[in-house]
Amino acid sequence: MEMNSANVEAVVKQVLESMLDKNIPSPSAPAASQAIPKTAHVAMLTSLEHYDVKEFPIPEVGDGDILVKVEGCGICGTDAHEFKKDPFGLIPVALGHEGTGEIVKMGKNVKMDSAGKPLKVGDKVVTCMIFKDDPDIEMFDLNKKNVGGADVYGLLPDDDIHLNGWFSDYILIREGSSVFNVSDLDLDSRILIEPCAVLVHAVERAKTTGILRFNSRVVVQGCGPIGLICIAVLRTMGIENIVAVDGNQQRLDFAKRMGADKSVNFMEYKGIEALSAAVKDAFGGHLADFAFQCTGAPAAHSNIYKFIRNGGGLCELGFFINGGDATINPHFDLCSKEINLVGSWVYTLRDYATTFDFLKRAQAIGLPMKDLITHRFPLEEINEAHRTNLAQKGLKIAIVNK
């Protein structure tokens, strides 16, 4: 056969395609260094205050699924409630929703994350929610809906997949879930994304009152991880006149590192009148323009109104679950003071994306965000990790895989 230029071009093309097919793995195939085992280890809460680390087969990855090798997951207050009381009736359950890890395999239909950023094997990711056919929950809506109508990994009923929580070494992210590429953040920052999103949302809710400004006097009550992150978010906004209130001096000291100007230890005062006077003194004789109530104690909610000036604002975010009733006097606490009150619960998808920029900004101005993670435990020591968390021996306790 006579070999003209067209024939030569066709032969060369065929040879190159054959070489590519044989030597280059598909985008959904894991790298050679990421050999995927046949089974995964999952920490299952099997009874109150007890996890068993169980081994389950790693299922097939569907066309819209993502298999993630878990690198770490923080322990949340919700995990502590479930560990102690199982308020959601989920036992046996794979917990852990503050997790992050690396994509090791993904279905052929997975191209981008929930913000339109490309995804590939090797990228670091976090999840936010699993959609239930709800058109009002969108990426860049007007923040009208939070995640209340969606499921979250780490709070799913057990099923035949089992890889449903981040307290594991692998998790299967199913089609329809939200997922974000956060490869530009280090592991500690990625572990902190979920709790930080809670506070980004709370501050956005507070801003709707029109009261929170650069020169606002702000009191933050409760200096666990949530309150401390609240201070950090405020500080990245340029708000400096912040007074932290708590009964633990070590946490109050850390609050100052996070950006609080002054602190008040309520253990040093008897009665709400003395405590509110101390907060007023900390602001140079003024009550707060705005307050964030970050504890789940009803008495704390009752007290917070006394720290706020007439016409001031309050964001209540401490009650993720039912913590009981709080007693206030509607006339003195709300009406006569014309307090602007907003509630905050979890976050929206948009808040999640904003959180990535917050973490970068916090690092840029020198806030010690990573120091919030005070204890790290391997997966097999998850029971000890939860006991450490319940004993309040540190701030953020994390499970970190090798």
At 84-103, the pLDDT tens digits run 999 889 999 999 999 999 99
CA distance 83 to 95: 9
Q: Supply 61's token pair.
A: 């990855």
Residue 1 has pLDDT above 50, yes or no: no
Q: Is the per-residue pLDDT at 26 higher than 50?
A: no
pLDDT in tens, 346-384: 888 888 889 999 999 999 999 999 999 999 999 999 999
For residue range 168-182, list pLDDT tens digits in order.
Answer: 999 999 998 899 999
pLDDT of residue 133: 55
Q: Which of 45-54, 125-134, 138-147, 293-302 has the lowest mean pLDDT?
A: 138-147
Q: What average pLDDT does range 109-136 have in this prediction? A: 85
Q: Are 227 and 292 in contact (CB under 8 A)?
A: yes
Angle at 198 between CA 392 and CA 323, to 5 degrees: 55
Which stretches of 17-174 are assigned E, i.e. beta strand? 39-47, 50-57, 66-74, 93-94, 98-106, 124-130, 170-173
pLDDT score of 2 = 44
Is residue 309 predicted with pLDDT exceeding 90?
yes
- Give yes or no for residue 10 having a pLDDT over 90: no
pLDDT at res. 28: 40
Distances from the Cα of 373 to the Cαs of 73, 231, 368, 397, in angstroms? 11, 16, 10, 6
The reported pLDDT for the residue numbered 131 is 60
- Banded pLDDT at 20 (limits 50, 70, 90): very low
Mean pLDDT of the region 190-198: 96
User: Amino acid identity, residue 5?
Assistant: S
Q: Is the pTM of this model over 0.75?
A: yes
Q: Give me the mean pLDDT over the 218-235 stretch.
A: 97
> How many residues are given for the chain?
402
Residue 345 DSSP label? -
Residue 261 predicted with pLDDT over 50: yes
Question: What confidence category does residue 23 fall into, taking pLDDT thresholds of 50, 70 and 90?
Answer: very low
Residue 347 confidence (pLDDT): 87
Which residue bears the tokens 């009981």? Answer: 324
Q: Look at residue 273 in the predicted model and tell me its pLDDT.
A: 96
Residue 256 parent element (H or E): helix 249-258
Give percent of the chain above pLDDT 90. 78
Give pLDDT, residue 14: 52
Q: Which of the four pLDDT bands, split at 50, 70 and 90, describes residue 32?
A: very low
Q: Going from the N-terminus, what domains does the chain have, and what CATH number goes with each?
A: 32-191+368-400 (3.90.180.10), 196-343 (3.40.50.720)
Banded pLDDT at 135 (limits 50, 70, 90): low
- Show the tokens assigned to 299: 């008495």
> pLDDT at position 348, please?
83
Question: What are φ and ψ of residue 220, in 5° steps?
Answer: -120, 115
Distance of CA 228 to the CA centre of its chain: 14
How high is the pLDDT of residue 402?
A: 83
Q: How confident is the model at residue 336 (pLDDT cuts 50, 70, 90)?
A: very high
What's the half-sphere exposure (Cβ side, CA atoms, 13 Å) at 106?
Answer: 26
> Helix axis angle, 249-258 relative to 225-236, nearest 10°?
20
> Which of 215, 260, 223, 274 is closest to 239 using CA atoms?
215
Q: What is the mean pLDDT of the chain?
A: 89
Q: Which residue has the tokens 């309150």?
A: 227
Least confident of 8-17, 61-70, 87-96, 140-149: 8-17
Q: Which residues contact 37 (CB under 8 A, 6 or more apart)?
A: 58
Longest Cα pair distance anywhere in the chain, in angstroms? 102
